[in-house]
Structure 1
Amino acid sequence: MKTKQVLVRYGELSTKGKNRSSFIGRLRDNVRQMFADLKTVRVKAERDRMFILADDEREMEQVLERLPHVFGIQSFSPVTEAELNFEAMKRAAIAVVSKLDRDNKSFKVSVKRPFKEFPHEKPEITQEIGSHVLRSFPELSVQMKHPDIELKVEIREEAAYMMAEVIEGAGGLPVGAGGKALLMLSGGIDSPVAGYHMLKRGVRLELIHFFSPPYTNDRAKEKVYDLAEKLSQFGSSVTLHIIPFTKLQQEVHKQVPDNITMTSTRRMMMRVADLVLAETKSQAIITGESLGQVASQTLESLHAINAVTNTPVLRPLIAIDKLDIIETAQRIGTYDISIRPYEDCCTIFTPANPKTKPKLEKVEFYENFVSFDELIQEAADQRETIKFPRVKEAKFENLL
């Protein structure tokens, strides 16, 4: 008995109306991209469900491992194939049910028989398979309405197909269905989680990181690379823009009083981000800010920062508790990367007593002593761009 296909159930996109097909098409393309390196994998998308097929067992294992990370999927089930005879079907049923938790669980068999030439009717198939499963697993009890375990059997011309395991998907919308936005990726705990939430809403990400050597080192940059790699594992590639920020940051600290440098620095980041946003045809800026978490995340600070741009600024964590953010970071695998002890440009120049309620007119007053335009354009023009996931180079050893 082999698992050669997976049945995928759509999530929120199943509620869509006339544009439903475009959402399904986006999900199909994302799934194909996720499995592009697997030669035998094929994807068949229908209006109400999707099938993923693979002829190679090891490739099917990879499908089952990666599929929970693809947004737009409510759940999925591995499908076991058996020959069209009762003995083979019984063996397949045992193989499927044996993988599940059965202690004090209720059970039933549901049969579909689109291949009408199969010599047994649905009641007989249900009786044969159901009684065999119950004899093999006496801890199960029969319950026809809302059972804990429902073994679904479908009789087709080429084989019988069975499934019972329902694996939770990532939910949300297919990445790309919600447009594209630029995530300000600091290297801390919050911004990758903000990116994850926006991916789940179907937003394709461009990433921007501000790098200030020699104050920040290559280990801090490598940490950001690893975070970008993680974010690329949710069904869509991402592009990271590394901004050389040293000159701009130094100029801010020369011209602006120490207690409002944090606000002014973030305003400069927004202005650079606007240039990158225009070039990448993104539609919004995403940040990991959470209201009141630090001095730069008060309403007054956010007002002063927002005033420098007309671009929509999305803050998906604005009302989320820090402990909840940490829990999400741990679940998606970014937490251990984020807590590596390498400082980013936001922490190296943090003043001892930053203003929690900066006045916009004062910030603008001090910034007007010098034109930052040239430095902002230079930072955007000299950025480094890397696409993720990174292609691992093959190692050719022992070659003459």
Structure 2
Amino acid sequence: MTYKAFLIKYAEIAIKGKNRYLFEDALVSQMNHALKKVDGTFHIRKEQGRIYVEMEGEYDYDGAVEALQHVFGIVGICPVVLLEDEGFDALAGEVIRYIDEVYPDKHFTFKVNARRARKNYPLESMEINAQMGERILEAFPETSVDVHKPQVMFNIEIRNQINVYSTVIPGPGGMPVGTNGKAMLLLSGGIDSPVAGYMIAKRGVTIDATYFHAPPYTSERAKQKVVDLAKIISKYTGPINLHVVNFTDIQLYIYEQCPHEELTIIMRRYMMKLAEHFAKENKCLGLITGESIGQVASQTMQSLAATNEVCTMPVYRPLIGFDKQEIVEISEKIDAYETSILPYEDCCTIFVAKHPVTKPSLNVIHNDERKLSEKIDALMQEAIDTVEVIHIEA
């Protein structure tokens, strides 16, 4: 069957009270953006707490569904038939025609779920359920009714137009991107940080990203891997400005001046400072990392406190209590995993100490960082001045 419309379902937006229209408008904007690259002509409209996508002529059905499945705020995409109200007999005929076309095999159990949003319709919801169920059984005696666990649910919504649908394709949920500010993601080539960016964007936050590159210790392939990961998550987050920071000289200087067991923590502190600089420059309201308590030496409670100390804006860590397998499952769900595990080194793994400190003392860290005072400010400024910004869009 060629559908000419989708009914879009959302969840949290419905409880936003007087601000609800702002969230709906943001969702419509994100949907328009997602459908731009899909073959076909699409028109999106709001009506009585519903959002519809209507299509003109031929279009790419699978492409449209896939695009909408990447729009945060959508919980269901329903291929729907929109009918004018021409009486119950005409409606029953259209429902029979719909079933005959959509379900070649009629051996299924069903339930009719009517909702009378327009109260001037002559039949109440329960009457529609009973009478429509009777018509379906007469037309297709091989079907049967199961009101508890039906194989097919026929939804009939009586609105300005009558909505008939039986398929609800899951959306990603969450809130529309752009409704909850902007944050800077510290994006590496690993599994965790792309998932962290995805999860924060799911709550309506616009994402930019910072990647620390260390040539010649990290290759162009490692950089391209990060660009590819940014492109994958941008399917959900929208366009991302990726800040590629040359971190080599800073890392080497820390390596020369500081105890090796503290390298990771001290490098991480300077990464946070640089990421925060670009975050403020881009009017972000916080930083995002993929850290999880205890996963590695730099992610113990003491280590996280040491890196937090250099930040003046909030640091959001959506994976903080996740097991690695839970993170991997989300990475696979968003199609980032296979790219994340490509064997290209990142700047952190090159300078890892054999025995990194797991419970760093801030007093010791402060004393060791004083050894950097001669050149670190100039090196930081050079990293800022030479940053490469790549605009990434799926």
Same fold (TM over 0.5): yes
Counterpart contact for 2:184–2:284, Cα < 8 Å: yes
- Which residue is 1:40 aligned to? 41
How far 1:361 sits from its partner (Å)?
1.3
Instruction: Give the counterpart of 2:142 among 116, 138, 144.
Output: 138
| CA contact 1:108–1:130 (8 Å) conserved in 2 | no
Give 1:95's aligned amino acid: E
1:61 aligns with 2:62: yes
Secondary structure of residue in 1 paired with 2:41: coil
> Is the Cα–Cα contact under 8 Å of residues 96 and 163 in structure 1 kept in the other structure?
no
Corresponding residue of 2:355: 353
The residue that corresponds to 2:101 in the other structure is 95
Corresponding position of 1:23: 23
Amino acid at match of 2:145: S
Contact 1:184 1:285 in 2 (8 A): yes
Whole-angstrom distance in 2 between the partners of 1:128 and 1:299: 61
The 1:74–1:381 alpha-carbon spacing in structure 2 relative to 1, beyond 3 Å, is same
State the Cα deviation string for residues 97-153 of structure 1 (Å, max 9, x = none): 4599x65x33226376969999xxx9689746753466436243253x785533234
Q: 1:377 to 1:90 in 2, by over 3 A?
A: same
Q: Tell me which of 128, 149, 154 is aligned to 2:152.
A: 149
Where does structure 1 lack aligned partners over 5 or more consecutive residues? Answer: 391-400
1:107 aligned partner? 111
Partner of 2:317: 315
* Greater shift in the superposed pair: 9-18 or 346-355: 9-18
After TM superposition, the structure 1 stretch with the greater mean CA deviation from structure 2, 381-390 or 207-216, is: 381-390
Match runs of 1:274-313 below 5 Å: 274-313=276-315
8 Å Cα contact 1:40/1:54 also seen in 2: yes
Q: Is the 8 A contact 1:289 1:315 kept in 2?
A: yes
Match of 1:193 in 2: 195
**SS of residue paired to 1:43:** strand
Contact 1:2-1:81 within 8 A present in 2 as well: no
8 A contact 1:283–1:311 mirrored in 2: yes
Within 5 A, what are the aligned runs for 1:217-236? 217-234=219-236, 236=238
Q: In structure 2, do the counterparts of structure 1 residues 117 and 191 end up closer, same or farther at CA, with 3 Å as the change threshold?
A: closer
Deviations 1:186-238 (A, max 9, x none): 11011111111101111110011000010000111111111101111115221
Quote the Cα distance in structure 1 between the aligned partners of 2:179 and 2:29: 11
Letter in 2 for 1:362: V
Offset of residue 76 of structure 1: 2.2
Higher alpha-carbon deviation: 63-72 or 331-340: 63-72
Question: Which residue of 2 is the match for residue 7 of structure 1?
Answer: 7
Give 1:356 shift.
Answer: 0.4
Provide the C-alpha distance between the structure 2 equivalents of 1:111 and 1:245, rounded to a whole number of angstroms.
Answer: 60
Deviations 1:35-62 (A, max 9, x none): 1234511111245221111114433432
CA distance in 2, matches of 1:373, 1:163: 62
Q: How does 1:178-257 map to 2 (within 5 A)?
A: 178-234=180-236, 236-257=238-259
Give me the whole-angstrom Cα distance separating, in 1, the residues matched to 2:141 and 2:339: 44
Per-residue deviation, residues 343-377 of structure 1 (Å, max 9, x unmatched): 10011111110000111111111111223122112
Q: SS where residue 231 of structure 2 aligns?
A: helix
Contact 2:157 2:163 in 1 (8 A): yes
Shift of 1:300: 0.9
d(CA) in 2 for partners of 1:126, 1:79: 21
Cα RMSD over matched residues?
2.9
Rounded to whole Å, the distance in 1 between the matches of 2:303 and 2:383 is: 24
Q: Note the alpha carbon deviations across 1:160-208, whole angstroms, 9 max, x for none.
A: 6521111222111111111100000111011111111101111110011
**Distance (Å, rounded) in 1 between the aligned partners of 2:251 and 2:348:** 10
Per the alignment, do residues 156 and 23 of structure 1 end up closer, same or farther by CA in structure 2, a change over 3 Å counting? Answer: closer
Counterparts of 1:130 and 1:152, CA distance in 2: 15
Residues 1:114 and 1:290: Cα distance change in structure 2 (over 3 Å): closer
The Cα of 1:63 is off from its aligned counterpart by 1.6
Which moved further from structure 2: 358-367 or 40-49? 40-49
The 8 Å contact of residues 3 and 57 in structure 1, kept in 2 or not, is answered as no
Contact 2:118 2:158 in 1 (8 A): yes
Whole-angstrom CA distance in 2 between matches of 1:87 and 1:298: 65
| Aligned partner letter, 1:252 | I
Cα offset, 1:328, TM superposition: 0.9
Q: Alignment partner of 1:71: what SS? A: coil
Q: 5+ unaligned residues in a row in structure 2: which ranges?
A: none
Secondary structure of the structure 2 residue equivalent to 1:220? helix
Alignment coverage as a number of residue pairs: 384
Q: TM-score, normalised by structure 1?
A: 0.87
Kindly indicate whether the alpha-carbon contact (under 8 Å) linking 1:9 and 1:48 is maintained by their aligned counterparts in 2: no
Residue in structure 2 matched with residue 79 of structure 1 by the alignment:
80
1:234–1:164 CA distance, 2 compared to 1 (3 A): same
